[in-house]
Structure 1
Amino acid sequence: MRVRRLAIWPAVSLAATLGLAACGSDGDGPGRPDPDAAVRIEIAEPQHLVPTDTAETNGSQVLSALFSPLIDYDRDNKPYEVAARSIESTDNRVWTVKLKTGYTFHNGEPVTAQNYLDAWNYGAYGPNEQNSSYFFEKIAGYDDLQGDPPAAKTLSGLRKVDDLTFTVTLAEPYAEFRTMLGYTAFYPLPKAAFTAPGVLDEGYEDAPIGQGPFRMKGSWVHDAKVEVERYDAFPGQQPKVAGVEFRIYQQATAAYADVLSDNLDVIKTIPTENLPTAPDDLGDRFRQSPASSLQLLAFPTFQQEFSKPEVRKAISMAIDRDGISDSIFKGAEQPARSFVSPVVAGYRKDTIGEAGTYDPARARAMYEAAGGPRTIELSYNGDGAHGAWVDATCDQLATNLGVTCVGTPEPKFADLLTKLGRKEPVGLFRMGWVMDYPSMENYLGPLYSSTGSSNYYGYRNERFDQLLAEGAKAPSEEEAIRKYQAAEDLLAADLPVIPLRFGRNSFGHSAKVRNVEMDLFDRVDLLKIEALR
């Protein structure tokens, strides 16, 4: 949902980025930058802190401190090299990755090509059951690492050339492969992360060793905090703070209260119930900016009561997206009727067609004709600010469909994901997605393909998978988009999820920090934020 990836909070904001507000001056008085101070940033409990197992925005925020990606993205969503010196291909199938010199892991190990190969092979190996294994599917040899038992332990498409160079051979050409490499799954791992070749140290994710601008300070204190400190040997841009405490909250309202009292420096999403007063509460410390998030209501399509598209369509038509956006989110979130965000090329408005029309009478007739269940459970994570809109949605479903609807909070997002991974019954469930890299394919493949890393609803459509594969092999972005749009049309017909709202960043900070920015991936920019004396 970070977030890129699975998103824990609803992301809410206005359409335009507001100007940055400086808190204090750069002189000798109050408000002077303090490079020796640490800042405190709100997150919820991560599910994992192993790069190839991190598929949600809380873990992604922490890992963005500990690791430096091969590439990042500029303001136009175009990739540029960070830890990589170059990433090139002449045929979009064989890619050569050359690394920059000077990078070391936080334990002093030099970063080499082998560290990337070891990490990627670990992530792709089926028995390791990594959440982001899907992202290695395009590399030659991936299928051999699946099965019981797998036919191989390493990807045949990875080859070390020298200490700073490796090649990646894909099973099929993919023009956007370089763009993918900013994603968390493609971080390297040090030798110290393994107890034997391909065997990850069980304690690694409690104190991850990366090669980024910050290193761990102690270990992950579950349900409490993760602390990092500046890594002075980092060869890239140095942060302007001495460290970060990622403070773990179970309730967004508690985090908001701490920001107001300057006991927390950044809350990444203002709780919905605090949106009306946030501009007055925080003044110019209430901030808004574009994001890539999409809020969804998902169906366990493998369960009989939700197996019919007509039932799913009726539920969609019984929900007043515009009304909830206005009443709960005060117009800050935009109603969504498409499966991809407006921030990516290829977005089309209202791709779900009639299913996005609010029509209670038709919805009820369709629901009854299809034999929809008389009781609907709507599960969501209680450590995100979802209760208000879930209750409003349940009220509408109960009234418009003549059913009993109950909202069921899970204590933590990680708990909900675990239940979904085990296919335990949770009824309808809330999902959020934040793009991993700027492409239509990233909104479609992980969420809906048969092997998608975040396909928790059991959706299967061979033609959909085929169109995705054809889009990936397309020689141009324009041809790829045509294939992806055709795949999106199949989703509109099958409706395994209901798009609800496009989110944007709506965040706040204390008077003790400035230059607080959030990116399209639901992450605070840790290289820009400053602490103030």
Structure 2
Amino acid sequence: TGKMKPEELAVKAVDPTTFEVTLKAPTPYFLEMLTHQSTYPVNKASIEKLGNDWIKAGNLVSNGAFTLAEFIPNDHIKVVKSKTFHGAADVKLDVVNYFPTEDRSTAIKRFEAGEIDYNDDIPTEQMADLKAKFGDQLKIGPYLGTYYYAIKTDKAPWDNVELRNAVSMAIDRDFLAEKVWQNSMLPGYSMVPPGIEGYTSAMAKFADMSQIDREDEAKKILEKLGYGPNKPLKMEIRYNTSENHKNTAVAIQEQLKPLGIDVTMLNTDTKTHYGHLEQKGDFDVARAGWIADYKDPESFLGISRKASGNNYSDFDNADYEAAMDKAAAAGGKPEERMKDLEAAERILIDQVGQIPLLYYSYKNLVSSKVEGYSPNVMDVHP
């Protein structure tokens, strides 16, 4: 947050090239965290000398495999192989060009024309056509990410866990995955997606029920709480601009209508949407998503802790906090720690602190000219 004094941070520069961090407890994912962009080192002398120009091509000091050669806004970014990189002998590419393209159809055309070799922004509605056209060049697989709805747990009527569970139960995730997202997503019933070694995600207890049975059970709960066709439950879904997000909300609107839930929708651009959530603005239900910063359940469960800035639902549960604290203290015992995290997720799911809907999958177009592409759940391709 920038509020703590440097001497209180348990970090220090041992010498000009060594940075030391003292941890509160053994943290299995710490080394992987260091690959996140928030931990990249910056050159203090360069910033002090150049001011805001330190990030420009020719000025930027970095320690990766490539250095910035050109940056033309809205046109391209060019990076070239760094001669001073410690593993330069193993870097096979001399130049990489990035082309920002807002129109996804244009990006597809450029790929087809051979102008670009890799594209990771695929129009979901074109999946079948793209598979037929590009065959094995279209790569699809599981990705550590969860598409979910935050639900305002600290205001009526959403402070009622039975009500939250009824709404979650009634949503047909199979339909969302197959029809809305054209099988480019998987139905999701837990906050932690599958794919983390040694961890078993805590699924919603209705996950194995048929959709018809779920809807019947949800209707009974709503009737018990006084809601139905003659007294509909009002619910607003906020989402950020995207045809896929809109279509998801529309599908859920139609699914909940027969249960006596009157759903309205509010669309804003991404900056406004997340700004509203981060500033603790009022809402009922809001679209959100989380991609793993590191391959560990804590990345997904930490966002629902009381103090987390990403806890849009304002979920506040003492048992959950205690379970997460226990897991943190068990850092040196991997199996015990995973069991503690599983227990924490069980609380989160049973209390419906969030409504998981779908698990992400990666969708990449990779030219047959590209060698060394290796699919992985983090969708990272160095």
TM-score, normalization: structure 1? Answer: 0.61
User: Secondary structure of 2:189's partner?
Assistant: coil
> Which residue matches 1:432?
289
1:508 CA drift (Å): 1.5
Residue 360 (1) aligns with residue 215 (2): yes
1:210 CA drift (Å): 3.0
User: Secondary structure of 2:100's partner?
Assistant: strand
Question: RMSD of the TM alignment (CA)?
Answer: 3.2
After superposition, the C-alpha distances for 1:444-489 in whole angstroms (9 at most, x for unaligned) are 11x1112224222222223222222221221311110111111111
> Structure 1 residues 276-285 or 166-175, which shifts more?
166-175
> Which residue matches 1:159?
12
Residue 235 (1) aligns with residue 86 (2): yes
1:294 CA drift (Å): 1.7
Residue 468 (1) aligns with residue 345 (2): no
After superposition, the C-alpha distances for 1:263-289 in whole angstroms (9 at most, x for unaligned) are 554331422211122211222321223
> Structure 1 residues 178-187 or 253-262, which shifts more?
253-262
Distance 1:443 1:225 in 2: 34
1:295 CA drift (Å): 1.6
Distance 1:406 1:259 in 2: 38
Match of 1:277 among 118, 121, 129: 129
Residue 188 (1) aligns with residue 46 (2): no
The question of whether the paired residues in 1 share the 8 Å contact of 2:79 and 2:95 is answered with: yes
1:517 CA drift (Å): 5.0
1:169 CA drift (Å): 1.5
The question of whether the paired residues in 2 share the 8 Å contact of 1:350 and 1:356 is answered with: no
Distance change >3 Å, CA 220–CA 398, structure 1 → 2: farther
- Residues 43-442 of structure 1: pairs in structure 2 closer than 5 A: 124-126=1-3, 145=4, 152-192=5-45, 194-195=47-48, 209-219=61-71, 221=73, 224=74, 227-233=77-83, 234-236=85-87, 237-249=90-102, 252-262=104-114, 264-348=116-200, 351-354=203-206, 357=209, 358=211, 359-370=214-225, 374-383=233-242, 385-399=244-258, 401-412=259-270, 414-442=271-299
1:297 CA drift (Å): 1.7
Partner AA of 2:336 in structure 1: E
Distance 2:311 2:46 in 1: 29
Q: Which runs of 5+ in 2 are unaligned?
A: none
Distance change >3 Å, CA 520–CA 206, structure 1 → 2: farther
Residue 488 (1) aligns with residue 365 (2): no
Distance 1:157 1:297 in 2: 36
The question of whether the paired residues in 2 share the 8 Å contact of 1:435 and 1:443 is answered with: yes
> Which residue matches 1:116?
none
1:329 CA drift (Å): 3.6
Distance change >3 Å, CA 263–CA 385, structure 1 → 2: farther
After superposition, the C-alpha distances for 1:219-274 in whole angstroms (9 at most, x for unaligned) are 573xx35613114333324351512224142x545544543454554331422211
Partner AA of 1:405 in structure 2: V
> Which residue matches 1:477?
334
Distance change >3 Å, CA 156–CA 323, structure 1 → 2: closer
1:368 CA drift (Å): 4.6
Distance change >3 Å, CA 254–CA 388, structure 1 → 2: farther
Distance 1:472 1:303 in 2: 30
Distance 1:217 1:408 in 2: 42
The question of whether the paired residues in 2 share the 8 Å contact of 1:435 and 1:521 is answered with: yes
User: Secondary structure of 1:417's partner?
Assistant: helix
Distance change >3 Å, CA 219–CA 263, structure 1 → 2: closer
User: Secondary structure of 1:216's partner?
Assistant: strand
Higher helix share: 2
The question of whether the paired residues in 2 share the 8 Å contact of 1:299 and 1:428 is answered with: yes
Distance 1:375 1:257 in 2: 43
The question of whether the paired residues in 2 share the 8 Å contact of 1:341 and 1:347 is answered with: no
User: Secondary structure of 1:504's partner?
Assistant: strand
After superposition, the C-alpha distances for 1:142-174 in whole angstroms (9 at most, x for unaligned) are xxx1xxxxxx24444112222333332123343
Partner AA of 2:333 in structure 1: S
Distance 1:253 1:216 in 2: 28
Distance change >3 Å, CA 298–CA 466, structure 1 → 2: same
1:203 CA drift (Å): 6.8
User: Secondary structure of 2:287's partner?
Assistant: strand
> Which residue matches 1:450?
306
Distance 2:92 2:281 in 1: 43
Identity %: 25
The question of whether the paired residues in 2 share the 8 Å contact of 1:313 and 1:355 is answered with: no
- Residues 490-505 of structure 1: pairs in structure 2 closer than 5 A: 490-505=347-362
Distance change >3 Å, CA 158–CA 349, structure 1 → 2: closer
1:383 CA drift (Å): 4.5
User: Secondary structure of 1:354's partner?
Assistant: coil
Q: Which runs of 5+ in 1 are unaligned?
A: 1-123, 127-144, 146-151, 528-533
1:327 CA drift (Å): 2.4
